[in-house]
Chain A
Amino acid sequence: MANVTLRNVRKTYPGGFEAIKGVNVDVGDGQFCVLVGPSGCGKSTLLRMVAGLETITGGEIDIGGKIVNQVEPADRDIAMVFQNYALYPHMSVYNNMAYGLRNRGMAEAEITTRVEEAARVLELAPMLERKPRQLSGGQRQRVAMGRAIVRQPKVFLFDEPLSNLDAKLRIAMRVEIRKLQRRLNVTSIYVTHDQLEAMTLADILVVMNGGQVEQIGNPLDIYQRPATTFVASFIGAPPMNLMPLRSDELKSQIAGVDGAGIVGIRPEDFAISNETVAGGVALGLTIEAIEHVGAETFVYGTRQREEQGVAANPGDLPPGEVIVRVPGISRPVIGERIRAVAPRDKLHLFTADGRTRLGQ
């Protein structure tokens, strides 16, 4: 039971490369925090700093009210699940789970109780005597989870634990991790590059880019009100459509703002319609590609100069690709011309550099 607080945490490598540029995150007791971002954004480094596997070159990491900057990983009361599981190949499943407890000098009877309880929860009981190489990927994943659970730590750390599993198993394990975390009520930090995993697991979502935090918050809030164009395009699949706005167009949306901007519209916020929406956006599109997902269909269209408009102004936006979601029952055809409209309250407005959200 512990809060994890990162205060202005920095990591500069000896070569001068700044991997983490001052991160502040506060994870409450029992909360599930997900760090998400593209590869190279520093999310794994940050997690490893919490684990104590990377040194901290600036700021403080606080676990359960204790600053752990100089504390050895074993003494931080954390447990970590690695991407490739890092099971000891020469030890049985039982010993893999028991190893950390033995090193702490726990009585063998207590170890047996804990391992058997974890094996029961994770349905590993019949394979306690097997070696890791005799297990399937999903089972290895469970052993890695079991090794973390038996420790009964203050904090669970997950470093992309599902990325080595196939798609179906990944979804099943994702649900299981969430259920397990709820039941054990242990503070958790989870790193992933998969925005869907991030959305479904997180209590607190931390979107990172280039060693910095782009946005922290509840996943749905982030989805509905992305703070930057990076977050807007990273969270959500397919990504939000981003188009440049002229200064007069931006002004018609929000009074008193100078300069050009960017408008973002999620594919699902479009409707195929011939109506004009006051203050909204209407785009004339030629369909270039179609993705049938089943319940819905994504249409990739190219904007046509003459038929588009923002705020009912026919504009002169450069042609570009726009993704529109339509219901699965509609049957668009490649080459067909459609008109997609989005109402004013579905527009996300940003400054031209994409760093600041404008308006509501």
Chain B
Amino acid sequence: MVEQEGFRRYVAHVILWIGIAIVAFPVYIAIVASTQDNALIANGQMSLLPGGHFFEVYYQTIFIGTSGSTREPVGNMMLNSMIMALMIAVGKIAISIISAYAIVYFRFPFRMPIFWIIFITLMLPVEVRIYPTYKIVADLHMLDSYAGLALPLIASATATLLFRQFFMTVPDELLEASRIDGAGPLRFFWDTLLPLSRTNMAALFVILFILGWNQYLWPLLITTRDDMQTIQIGIRKMITTTDALTEWPVVMATAVLAMLPPVFVVVAMQKLFVRGLVETEK
């Protein structure tokens, strides 16, 4: 970009800072609110500066939960969410890389129809097929279980297509060289294709982990027991209280906590993520 001289650059920076402020302010409010006394917030006298209740609010949130009827420690909810998100992300990657391998490298009967069936499921998100899926999960006695939370969400057309596109860019000569070097299909997959897909897998992991972490509708349907709640459901339940004050510091602390794992994943895997999206290492 051409360097702009003094004044115009100044204006550009001001506009950018305004943008950042607009995005960051709600997050700031959440953090501030999570350190204050509930009575103060309820009176509408919330200060814009951090209060002094940081440790007690977070201790209560993580280990005890709200004082209302659905008291469930947020620590447990986070564990549930974490297990579900990891199962979804890892499961999706594993399933889709294997099915993409089959579709790209093997000639079997009904290969193209199968590919198109996978492709068509792109148009059927969870919301559309929620009743049959629920019925199946219920009949398999997987309600209120991690398997029930994660399994129905694991099949992924998007990830399969992404791996398929990547595999098609891998030169055929690599496969042929492997064949001459005495590597069978499994060895080629394990020794050559998987290492080459590393950055793609990392990029997908980031996207899929956040997708899994933010699931709301499915866990809402499938879990009834409080100890199987995910954090996204937990927040919602904390806000709608029937006859007590909403404990806003706890709600805000939960929101902040719910934000941390995705942020951590993005920051930790940012380098690989960007490389997976832009670079083709061949």
Contact = CB atoms under 8 A, between A and B. Distances in A.
Interface in A74-103: 74, 78-80, 82-90, 99-100, 103
B181 A103 contact: yes
Given A86-B174, A89-B281, A89-B282, A78 B191 contact: no
A104 interface: yes
Interface centre among A52, A73, A79, A133 (most CB of B within 10 A): A73
A84 B171 CA distance: 9
B192 interface: yes
Contact of B177 (A72, A80, A104): A80
Contact of A86 (B177, B191, B195): B177
23 contacts: A51-B180, A53-B179, A53-B180, A72-B179, A73-B180, A74-B179, A74-B181, A74-B182, A78-B180, A80-B176, A80-B177, A84-B171, A86-B176, A89-B196, A90-B192, A90-B281, A99-B183, A99-B191, A100-B181, A100-B182, A103-B183, A104-B182, A133-B281
Interface of A: 51-53, 72-74, 78-80, 82-90, 99-100, 103-104, 133, 147
Interface string B259-282: 000000000000000000000011
Contacts of A133: 281
B5 interface: no
Interface in B145-179: 171, 173-174, 176-177, 179
Contacts of A88: 174, 177, 191-192
A186 to B, nearest CB: 15
Nearest to A90: B195
A79 B182 CA distance: 11
A87 B174 CA distance: 7
B187 interface: yes
Nearest to B183: A103
A72 to B, nearest CB: 7
Contacts of B171: 84, 86
A48 B161 CA distance: 30
Given A52-B180, A86-B174, A89-B281, 10 more contacts: A52-B179, A53-B176, A74-B180, A74-B181, A74-B182, A88-B177, A89-B196, A100-B180, A100-B181, A133-B281
Interface in B190-246: 191-192, 195-196, 198
A264 B196 CA distance: 54
A5 B180 CA distance: 20
A52 B187 CA distance: 19
A100 B180 CA distance: 8
Given A84-B173, A89-B196, A90-B195, A79 B180 contact: yes
Interface of B: 171, 173-174, 176-177, 179-183, 187, 191-192, 195-196, 198, 281-282
Contacts of A89: 196, 281-282
A88 B175 CA distance: 10
A103 B187 contact: yes
B179 A86 contact: no
B180 A80 contact: yes
Interface centre among B176, B181, B182 (most CB of A within 10 A): B181
Nearest to B179: A73
Interface centre among B174, B176, B192, B195 (most CB of A within 10 A): B176
Contacts of B282: 89
A87 B178 CA distance: 10
Contacts of B176: 51, 53, 73, 80, 82, 86
A99 B180 contact: no
Nearest to A144: B177
B216 to A, nearest CB: 39
B183 to A, nearest CB: 5
Contacts of B187: 103
Contacts of B181: 74, 99-100, 103, 147
A83 B196 CA distance: 21
Contacts of A53: 176, 179-180
Contacts of A80: 176-177, 180
A72 B181 CA distance: 11
Contact of A90 (B180, B183, B196): B196
Nearest to A100: B181
Contacts of A87: 177
A103 B177 CA distance: 12
Interface centre among B174, B176, B182, B282 (most CB of A within 10 A): B182
Nearest to B196: A90
A297 B96 CA distance: 63
Interface centre among A52, A53, A104, A147 (most CB of B within 10 A): A53
B188 to A, nearest CB: 10
A85 B180 CA distance: 13
Interface centre among B174, B177, B180, B187 (most CB of A within 10 A): B180
Contacts of A86: 171, 173-174, 176-177
A82 B282 CA distance: 15
Contacts of A99: 181, 183, 191
Contacts of A72: 179
Contacts of A84: 171, 173
B187 to A, nearest CB: 7
Nearest to A153: B180
